[in-house]
Amino acid sequence: MQLRTLGRTGVKVSALCLGTMTFGNEADFDAAQAIVDRYLEAGGNFVDTADVYQRGAAEEITGRALGARRAQVVLATKGRMPMSDDPLDRGANRRHLTRAVEASLTRLGTDWIDLYQVHWPDPSVPIEDTLAALDDLVNAGKIRYVGLSNYLGWELQRGIDACERHGWAPIVSHQPQYSLISREIELETLPLCAANGIAVLPWSPLGGGVLTGKYTAAAAVPADSRLGASEAQAKRRLSEQNLQVAQAVGAVAEAIGKTSAQVALNWVLHRPGVTSPILGARNVGQLEDNLGAEGWELAAEQVTALDRASRLPLPYPHDMYRLINAM
């Protein structure tokens, strides 16, 4: 598998990152073990999890599945979300993050976390306080690098500036949602990350399964599917526009002999600024399909067709920015 550099760290990570949100839920330990084994066999070395996934179960399974191979991977996790009903057991404050890192280390069965990411912004905590706490954890050897996830552009830039100003461990990565049906980060976040040398690790590159072509309408969602668990999410994800994008993906896939999932992942994989899209799989079969997205590129005309099918109207001031700069 192709290797890419994680931001400005010099650390080489595989072009496809293995996500573990299904572990302990849609994938039991045996399934997770098989997924991890196949991913490593394919040359992958980048594994992403989070403490909130099944409230720690995914981290425990990930640690067990890696076992003695832990040092062979760049292991990333996330913290900030509620881990219990206790109001103190959440947040991006120093108290919680310090405890969360220790708990993640125990569940993962490791002495260090390569990339620790703040899962979501916490408006109740100044980002400077969050980053100061993470800098202390880097200095203590608990974590190696700091990342953020789901931050707005201005928040991300404020964090970058704070680290530079105080000499703290820099933000090396950002984990946002990005796919052919969710291109909002192209407006601000993606160019911001490129300008600052920050790795972009997109989650949900298949649009929650919409871009695999298995859904035709919100009313026809299988009850045992991920979207089947939420009627509201199914209606939002399976809009007419999104289904049209999925059809465009399917047309390209049929023309080149690939699956829809492989085409959608390949599009994200080769977007400027993207480092490693995060794969989510319930079983080895799904992982195998996703692994087929790497090692080739869509033709320019196919990329153009997908770009056009998925382009949404720009909000102000982006619409005027495009218009004026085209003059």
Q: Which are the catalytic amino acids?
A: 53
**Three-state SS for 278?**
strand
Residue 192 near residue 156 (C-beta atoms within 8 A): yes
Q: What does each C-alpha distance from 276 to 132, 265, 284, 327 come to in angstroms?
A: 27, 10, 19, 35
Burial 267-277 (b: 16+ CB within 10 A, else e): bbbebebbbbb
Is the preceding peptide bond at 317 cis, omega within 30 degrees of 0? yes
Rounded distance between C-alpha atoms, residue 6 and residue 175, angstroms: 12
Distance CA 27, CA 48 (A): 15
The Cα 9–Cα 198 span in angstroms is 9
> Which DSSP helix (H) or strand (E) runs through 60?
helix 57-66
